Amino acid sequence: MTQSPPVSRLPVVFLAVFMAVAIGLVLYFASANSVPVASPPIGSPGTSAAPRPVTVIMRDYHFDPTPLHLYGGETIALTVVNAGMVEHELVLGDAAVQSAWAQADLAATPAAPFATAPPASAPPGTGGVRVLLQSGGQATVIYTVPNEKLLLLCNLPGHQERGMIGEVVLEVR
Ligand SMILES: [Cu+2]
């Protein structure tokens, strides 16, 4: 029985470890520089003195996160970021609020090919909250969450058909 001379596998192991670390570092820095991160599911309820920070990211064509967890009656500092390539709108409100903005957006949007919505306005007293942002835009609004069923929608023509329908879960304190 012949024995082959011992071959050291050390260089191979070193190379494998080095490659793993290098790939790990690349992935770490790639993720650190990517799009903003949406809020975790929920923290303590916000108050008017200390609104709870909530971030919603609009993408082509969905909201992140969805469902969005809110407490009925709490006050939030809602930061909306448009990480998509096209203009998007966030409307938080009941069915009547959504309907008012859907009509306003439709009326304000010219026919294709000039289908970018210019500023639209809903009737006074519509309620809810509405943020319209160009690609890359960001805005923060203070909003007191009502104790009622809320919808999270982008009412720009054609966007809900492509999936821009969010969901709101009202938490009980
Ligand atoms: Cu949209």
pLDDT block averages, 10 residues each, the chain of length 173: 57 58 52 56 89 97 96 97 96 97 90 70 91 97 96 96 97 83
Please state, as a whole number, how many other Cβ atoms lie within 10 Å of the Cβ of residue 80.
24
- Expressed in angstroms and rounded, the spacing between residue 101 Cα and the centre of ligand 1 is 13
pTM for the full model?
0.74
- Expressed in angstroms and rounded, the spacing between residue 119 Cα and the centre of ligand 1 is 14
**Domain spans of the chain?**
52-171
pLDDT of residue 43: 81
- Contacts with 164 (C-beta within 8 Å, 6 or more apart), sequence order: 58, 61, 62, 63, 88, 153, 154, 156
- Expressed in angstroms and rounded, the spacing between residue 6 Cα and the centre of ligand 1 is 65
- Expressed in angstroms and rounded, the spacing between residue 80 Cα and the centre of ligand 1 is 12
Q: What is the SS3 assignment for 89?
A: strand
- Expressed in angstroms and rounded, the spacing between residue 3 Cα and the centre of ligand 1 is 70
Q: Which string of DSSP letters, residue by residue, matches 43-72?
A: -SPP-SSSPEEEEEEEETTEEESSSEEEET
CA-to-CA dists, residue 120 to 53, 57, 131, angstroms: 27, 21, 11
Which phi and psi (to 5°) does residue 142 adopt?
-95, 130
Find tokens 């993408």 and name the residue: 59
- Which pair of structure tokens corresponds to residue 166? 């969010």
pLDDT of residue 172: 82
pLDDT of residue 130: 96
Out of 2.60.40.420, 3.30.1860.10, 1.20.1250.30, 1.10.287.70, the CATH code matching 52-171 is 2.60.40.420
- Expressed in angstroms and rounded, the spacing between residue 163 Cα and the centre of ligand 1 is 9
**Segment 107-136, tens digit of pLDDT:** 888 877 666 666 788 888 899 999 999 999
- Expressed in angstroms and rounded, the spacing between residue 90 Cα and the centre of ligand 1 is 8
pLDDT of residue 7: 58
